[in-house]
Amino acid sequence: MTDAIAISNAQLRFGETAALDGVSLTIPQGTCFGIVGESGSGKTTLMRAVLGLQKLDQGEIRILGKPLVHGRAALRERASFIQPIFQDPAASLSPRSRIRTLMNEVGTVLREPHAATHERLAVILGRLSLPPGVIDKYPHEISGGQARRVAIARALLMKPSILIADEPTAGLDVSVQGDLLNLLQDIRRSQNITLVVISHNLAIMRLIAENAVVMRAGNVIEGGEVGSLFGSPQEVYTRDLLAAWPSIRAVNTKG
């Protein structure tokens, strides 16, 4: 089976800084792939390159076997099978249009009657515990957590085969976070979607991803099957990341 995403030797410099310094990785179809690393390590730049929003200086990206082509037509075609959930939900919501307008656009792109789109939307909103009335609001009228879920609902509405989520749970309450992750897990099981999750939440990454890579300064410094990657990390940096995780320490029931 062709890989969902194959990146070989991706290089990109912003002035003096190497944002991507020869990144190579392959993401098999139908799996969840994690990209871990702190800000400035190149995670988001890599995501933007895969979406075709950022040209590489060197290297190649293949999506479902086909080389990534730049240009409006190619970008539009890609939208039907690869969808992003941006870190900043405001980036995917226009401040000047109601959420309904945004969702209707999905129907237009998919050439689907609005009634059918809204039928699917109702199910997705329910799963994300968003009130149905949310679609008549403007982005500034909803809370940050709601905006994030709206952005996720929009991405899911496109029925993509690859979903790339940049910090999908940052800033969400534990309970809402659980809801969202269960939904993503559900979608993976029922629709055989490829999920790429960029996050520094290692605890969650361990549980949802099959494979993951750790990035630092534009490089993949370590990668592999999640169980062994987090179970016995080889790199000092990966161990530091794991050690920095605030954990609920087990309490001594007698003391």
Partner 1 sequence: MAISLRDLSVDYSLQQGTAHALRGVSLDIKKGEMLGLVGESGSGKSTVAFALMGLLANNARVTLGTATIDGKNFDLTKRNATAALRGRGMAMIFQDPMLSLNPVFTIGTQLGEVLRRRAPGSDRKTRVAMAEDALAKVKLSNPARRMNQYPHELSGGMRQRVVIAMALLSEPALLIADEPTTALDVTVEAQIMREIIGLRDRVGCAVLLITHSLGLVTEYCDAISVLYAGEKLESGTVKAVQRQPGHPYTRMLFDCEVPIDRERHADASQNSFTVISGDLPDPRRRPPGCIFNGRCDVSFAECAVVNPGDYPVGDDAGHSARCLRLATP
> What percent helix, strand, coil does the chain show, rounded to 5?
40, 25, 35
Question: What would you measure as the largest C-alpha separation in the chain, in angstroms?
Answer: 66
Compare residues 72 and 190 and give the one whose CB is closer to partner 1: 190
Query: Stretches 6-14, 73-81, 133-141, 180-188: which one binds partner 1 (CB under 8 A)?
Result: 180-188
Give the nearest distance from C-beta 14 to partner 1 in angstroms: 15
Q: Which one, of 210, 204, 196, 208, lies nearest residue 46 by Cα?
A: 196
Nearer to partner 1, 56 or 125 (CB): 125
φ, ψ of residue 251 to 5 degrees: the values are: -95, 145
Instruction: Please identify, among the stretches 44-52, 93-101, 156-164, 199-207, the one whose residues bind partner 1 according to the rule CB under 8 A.
Output: 199-207
The residue among 1 and 174 lying less far from partner 1, judged by its C-beta, is: 174
- 245 touches partner 1 by CB under 8 A: yes
Among the listed residues 123, 132, 203, 228, the single contact to partner 1 using CB under 8 A: 203
CA distance 60 to 57: 10
Interface with partner 1 (CB under 8 A), residue from 108, 182, 191, 234: 182
| 221 sits near partner 1 (criterion: CB under 8 A) | no
Please identify which residue in 22, 145, 158, 221 interacts with partner 1, judged by CB under 8 A.
Answer: 145
Pairing of strands 66-67, 58-63: antiparallel
98, 100, 114, 206: which one binds partner 1 (CB under 8 A): 206
- Does position 248 bind partner 1 by CB under 8 A? yes
Site string for partner 1, 65-84 (x = CB under 8 A): --------------------
Say if strands 211-216 and 162-166 run parallel, antiparallel, or are unpaired: unpaired
Sort residue 57 into left (φ over 0), alpha (ψ -120 to 50) or beta. Answer: alpha
Which string of b and e fits 211-234 if b means at least 16 CB within 10 Å?
bbbbbbbbbbbbbeebeebbeebe
Residue positions counted in the chain: 255
Residues that bind partner 1 (CB under 8 A): 32, 38-40, 129, 143-145, 170-171, 173-179, 181-182, 185, 188-189, 200, 202-204, 206-210, 226-227, 230, 240-242, 244-249, 251, 253
